[in-house]
Structure 1
Amino acid sequence: MDFLNSFFSGLGITEFVRPSIGITDVLDILIVAYIIYKVIFWIKETRAWVLFKGILVIFAFAAVAALLKLHTIIFVLSNTINMGIIALLIVFQPEMRKALEQLGKGKIFSYFTRGEDAGDEKAAARTVNEIVKAADKMGAAKTGALILMEQEVPLGDLERTGIPIDAIVSSQLLINIFEHNTPLHDGAVIIRRNRVAAATCFLPLTDSNEVSMELGTRHRAAIGASEVSDAHVIVVSEETGKISVARGGVLYRDLTPEQLKNMISEQDHQSAKKKLAIWKGRQDK
């Protein structure tokens, strides 16, 4: 208690009062501890972990300074900590944005964010078949392609970076869009409600350090788009002709047309996931 009084007095808190703990206080502490645990577990997978360890070092240094009564250092650190909230918002802005995006993609909000009906099952099945047929033919011809199938999370921000199309999905249209030396071949195609919404859309690149160096910009853009949305992102490699699907920040590589169909159709989503090897960029071919 003497140490705590010394520490908090160094931070400008004149008196540390011994608390009385009840059942609600224990519940409160457990909830906060669980939230802190989940936050730490999440940031360990991001670049924020290194920054977080740096903050822990600063707090440890502040505790030592308070114990040794190093008044100048305590003064500097106390004024720094007072601005800590603003500093955290600035430093962790990309990570906080990603966390809020992940929270917004949760199923708990799906009831409130559900839009108009995406079409009957027949139209959806036709769209899947046309995409699979186009991907197969472009893979055989080694024509690079990048296709996003919008799900629950709207892709309006990405769509605005491209050129509006608003056409029925067909394999001929997709192949023609990604044909070499055509005005629309560079960028991604966004499919919404069984229609081609836009082409030449720009996608955010993933900043993950676990992505293999053998993957190019097209695959990195696919992973990046899948990290900020729940879209199915189909990629056809221009170098190898292999078909891949990015979903939830994970890249499923070297798919057959049948596997691709299972991945992007809702009816066999879980069984297809179990049969496919998960590639995060660290495994070899």
Structure 2
Amino acid sequence: MAKRVNYIYNKKPKFEIPKNNKQRPAFILYAMKKSYEVDVARSELNYVTQPKNIKTGKPIIRMRRLNEHRAGAMRAMVPAMLYHFNIVSQIVQASVEQLSDECGLSTISSSGNKSISRASRLITEFMEPMGFVVSEKKWDKIIGNYMPKMISLTPLFFKLFDVSEEKINSAKKQQLAWINRNLIKKGIKPISLIEAKFKSQEVRLQSILNYRKSQHFFHIRKKKAQNIFSLDEKTARQKILKLIVEKYSLNELSEMGLDGLRKKVNIQYYYLKKIAKENYSDSNI
């Protein structure tokens, strides 16, 4: 068997702030700065904390430190998680795939398939057993499988770069005060920290549901488009023509005329051609 050479893509990953950079609370900027000042992958916590099986709660024997590839992934992922952290809900408002992309940990195979396993394994095989994060899976009725995990950061996560629980609680109170000021301006009754936490969690869950729903229907359209473009051009255009004719009434088709009908076939042909080739992440449809 041939020996694998340079099997790790991007040996020095780094979190890149998204292009649609949003203003972050002072606490988030402070925590991110602290995380860059230390080597979170070589924190003392990584050696003294006893990892546990997240299903059984039983200790996991871990004899050695993180290898350099996983350490590099952790150094990138920690500030990425902080950037997307919601102080009140304690949830990272980004999927593992988004975090992986922004940290340069995602890979694309020669066949065009994306892999986020490097980021995913860091979370499930290290950060979660160590108690730095907690993840929750919910069943998606639309797709028929589990939705992307909702990841919460624990107080132990912040201890990696010496941010105390008192500092976190203070930030929560400040964020809640900001939320309530805005609610009062709108004539809405102020809410408690618990209410704000549940509300933030609901918003995050709804955004995941909306994304999955749009993604699901995009892939249905893409599959239909690819089926049409598996035919030769003449047959594909005839199929599109048939679909258009079925869509309109006789009066509408009469008003459209042959030129109008040909134009609609051309528009639909190139529209479906675009969908057939497009990835969901690139789509504005």
Q: TM-score, normalised by structure 2?
A: 0.24
Structure in which a larger fraction of residues adopt strand? 1
